[in-house]
Structure 1
Amino acid sequence: MSHNLSPGSQPTAADLDKPLYVPIKRRSFFMYAGATAGATALVLAGCSKDDNNTPGTVSVGSGDVGVLNYAYALEQLEADFYTKVRTGSFYTGSTITAAEKQILDDLYYHEVIHREFFKAAIGTNGAIKALETVYPANTFSTRASVFGTAKAFEDLGVAAYNGAGQYITSPGYLFLAGKIVSVEARHAAIIRDLLTENSFVGNDVITLTSAGTSSLATNNSPANSSLERSMTPSEVVAIANTFLADGSKLDVSGLR
């Protein structure tokens, strides 16, 4: 059965709002946070990735397909991280609390759903390959390293989605990205709160400004606003690529 849209057609918000059902072991707050949508409804007409990438890297392509591949790559990284967390010595050891384990389980299931959603949505002819990861030694052995790395990934994911919205031309895809980034922000908030209470509103991730302090406004954020900061694709992959093996590092030069 073909999953291609007819020429010129676009997915609607109603289509994209259908739940994406995949096998999971648990139901939790995160499962109902509204991030997932129907993969059968999100399909690309004539999707193909741009293979004119820098040697040894993986090009995400250009246009809406490129943005979706960019998101797919980041979701691969996050899903891989939480998969490895669940076999690491901190998770399997005696110092982790039941609440911490439940949170890590929730994030694992959610990121796997995100990864599989994008893989199905883009399709085998357009999706980039499965990426190989590398991590610093002892990443999964201590509470500080597990939650510190999780914080870095979740903050990066939120900033990446915020920065990628400008490259999306389809309203349906923009709708989808908005839903997912709202859940990634929840992930970031709970991880940050586990590390330092109330740090999810820190000025390192949110531009906090008020009347009469316009000099504090950055990243095009006006005074009297509290906006999450964004990062360009090139800024994001400069960090993400440090966790990707040679041959899996990302080339986002097609995103303009």
Structure 2
Amino acid sequence: MTPPARPDVTADAILGGRVTLRQQARGHRVGHDAVLLAALAPAGCRAMVDLGAGVGAAGLAFLARVPEATGTLVEIDPTLAALATENVADNHFGGRCRVVVADVLRLARPSGPPAPAVGMADLVLVNPPFNAAGAHQTSPHAGRARAHIGGAELLLAWVTTAYRCLAPGGVLCLIHRPEEMEAIFAALAGRFGAAELLPVHPRPEAPAVRLLVRAVKGRRTAPRLLPGLVLADAEGVPTIAAEAVVRGAGALG
């Protein structure tokens, strides 16, 4: 991998090198969350929207796994959107993927930006800001703070935007903190059903640190809990199941 010429940008890889990423050396950095979110997405989906895409990790990971799909990456930060555009080109997805600079909150409104269009997707990936302002220390780095500070109202707005982007029967894939399960169900209510919940544990005996949620627009079927994913064994060695997803581009659930 050829490193970028800019000292403030690093060149990294995910999915065992299947996807290369340019990202800022400081601020919010791509981790397992983006890969896990992409792995939750059904392979039968063909028109994907990645909300709050950052440098494009989740959306590009999905496109790498599903070569028949196309994608739209939505990012509010022009700097991150520019890096996402470079990453689309670097991974040779130019004919399948575009980047849109837009505010997810404005997309939730009927008078919001025209792209992505209402009902154009059959899959929306959502990795929203996780933490309630005031409950956690805010990062001095603006990009990191934007990526991590959220709350129930913000989550509702992101889910509403996903609902507007999806065609009937389209799939929402969401990653969040397990502590916010009540807010997640409140955001899904009346919009999405048939929710499948997949907890992610750092160790076999440790509480879940992430909750993956897959739900269907317009369905009313009750939710179900899937077997959890354990990232590492008691000695910290990645599990076979986790490696199959994180490095092998395997699917979840």
Give me the TM-score of the superposition, normalised by structure 1: 0.30
Q: Choose between structure 1 and 2 for higher RCO, CA contacts under 8 A separated by at least 6 residues.
A: 1
**Which structure's residues are more often strand, by fraction?**
2
Give me the TM-score of the superposition, normalised by structure 2: 0.30
Q: Considering only CA atoms, is the larger Rg found in Structure 1 or Structure 2?
A: 1
